[in-house]
Structure 1
Amino acid sequence: MFDFKQGDNVTIGSTGNILDCIVHAAITEDFIENGTEVLRSRKRGVPAPRTVRYHLEKLVIDGILSQFNGISEELYRIAKKQRWFVNKVDLSINIHDWMYYGDLDDEMVLGTQPKNGTSHAYKFATINVVERGIRFTLKALPIGDYSEICGVVEELLKYAMKKVKIRRVYLDRGFYAVPIVRMLKRLSVHFIIQAQKSIGIKKVIEENKDGEVIAVNYQMKRKRKAPSGKEDVKLFIVPHRLKKDERVCFVTNLDVNEENAKDYAGNYRKRWGIETSYRVKKDAFRPKTTSKSYAIRLFFFLFSVSFYNLWVLVSIVLGLVLYGRLPEKPLITAKMFGNLLITAYDSGG
């Protein structure tokens, strides 16, 4: 499956041992250099770290995207064969920040919320099936500029619409914007977006301060940035589940009222993945690197997405084989899956 050809002459998999080094670093969440040295101490024929880096630095962006699109298609085909996607499914769209400590002017680097001593990051968007027993990434795309986000979301959705029947889509506050809502409506997608507490929403809260749950018609407005515009939505506001005196706000095109608003908010919270057993830390299965090469960063991120999906596939197939049904939680943890693969690689498997 992992045959990463780059052009006519360069193949990152020209020797399987190069791929072994990448897989080992991904599983152990270590630097390629460290992972390679560990492998060199355990088996013969492992290339030097500089050889692995040489091949990685020859990667071409279009080639990376093409190869991982092929991998995503293959993993989807395996999942579909298990009849996972026969019925309608809920989807989430997420933005992932890979914090960066170099120059903001470097390729594909964007400003972001400060974290761990930097406010620079590479950004990627994913669209994920978030059903009970299944959390599967259908597609991942890089984000090169904030102006591209709406287009990236649309591309992800159009891809998903070809693969699954969508019940509804969940998006976080980063997607609370008129162009996003307009696009979702145009695609006839049912959505729930966590809303930012704008001046208009704060006014609604103040006007309904005696109500525990609020569900009203609301008009989103975009004035400061072109294109300007307005979009009608349903705004519903519920008490925060843990923080007293705080409220959580959502906008949707669903028929929400004061009676069912808490149910929709609960569905958002669960489907978003906050309480799912398949949630692992964002950098799971991703090799560490300090490289300023965007190609290497893109490769490692998409590699981690593919490995995540592989873990989900293995865990769910085990549930089907052993119990004849989808497991409600992973039968093997992400760490156990990684350890099994490490054992296989160390034994020459």
Structure 2
Amino acid sequence: MLFSGRVLLSKNGSGKKVIGKTKRSSSGARTFKPAIFLLGFLMIVVGVFGVLYNPSNSTYGNLPWELSEAGILSFSERGEPVFTLQEIKDFYSPESPDILKLVSFESGGDKVEALLRIPADTSSPSPGIILLPGAGVSKEGEQGLASELSRMGYASLTFDQRNQGAINIERDLELFKVGLDPVEYLMIYDVLKAADVLSAQPEIDPERLAVLGESNGGRFAIIACALEPSLKGAIGISTSGDGTEELDPSQIADSEAYRLYCSIDPETYLSALPPSKLVMIHSFNDTVISHEQALRTFALAEEPKAMYNTTDETHGYTASMQPYLEKELSLLFK
């Protein structure tokens, strides 16, 4: 799911400017309240440390990241992927002939666990998809979609996102201000390392890779695709950006918070996506992220891009999205 609420401090009025608001339910879903500038997100900035520190163009923590004044994140060379594999029994799709492997790979000084699903009925290397679940969904919980991708002829690597995709933006800001790695930076880096691992598999065609994410996973999919030119495209299901570009930086008291938020907003990276393609699939009746939010993000993207809509009253992937997904994957990997 999408990250928790956020507030930006401004220089007028009471000193606080509420941009948007989200509320997480006990199940992990969020309900959205309308806002003047954004269609659903509330940014909460807590400058607890009060440390005046500028992390631009430097390397901190375990990650070799840099951040431009405009809030655009970049990483230096990642090096060869380090990983282990073990073929395991497929408890998630027991009738499937797929090959399922448990993968452990190194990323940002940590071990990340993943499931690699490879179609069994292919005689040549398969296109590969990095599959990112929404918040609260494990790699095992995403195997239904992984199995569907396999039936289409695509291998997938699904990993456990840190905190299962949950975001603590206040803590990330604290880390950022003292030059440590925000967790969201680690999560983006994990996607890039997953791409390296996937491309190293002999069953995978390294020239035909893409990233697909649901909800919060879709946000990371867009950012990672913009940062990794080898990826053919990013597919976002039930996702959207944050709308930080609608804010006036001169009216924001905490400039470092603003730069951090820009750096983790997918919309910041839309202009860097081409020639990779953006595909969005969203329901008119999405119960968490409004269709208007998704449409706004899509409108900001440059060609090539495509958007498809369904009418399901739910959040995330549904069977009605399957024809659109299959069509766009075939176009990406043709």
TM-score over 0.5 for the alignment?
A: no
Shorter-normalised TM-score: what interval? 0.3 to 0.5
Higher relative CO (CA 8 A, sep ≥ 6), structure 1 or 2?
1
Instruction: Point out the structure with the larger helix share.
Output: 1
Q: Please, what TM-score do these two structures have when normalized by structure 1? A: 0.32
Q: Please, what TM-score do these two structures have when normalized by structure 2? A: 0.33
Greater gyration radius: 1
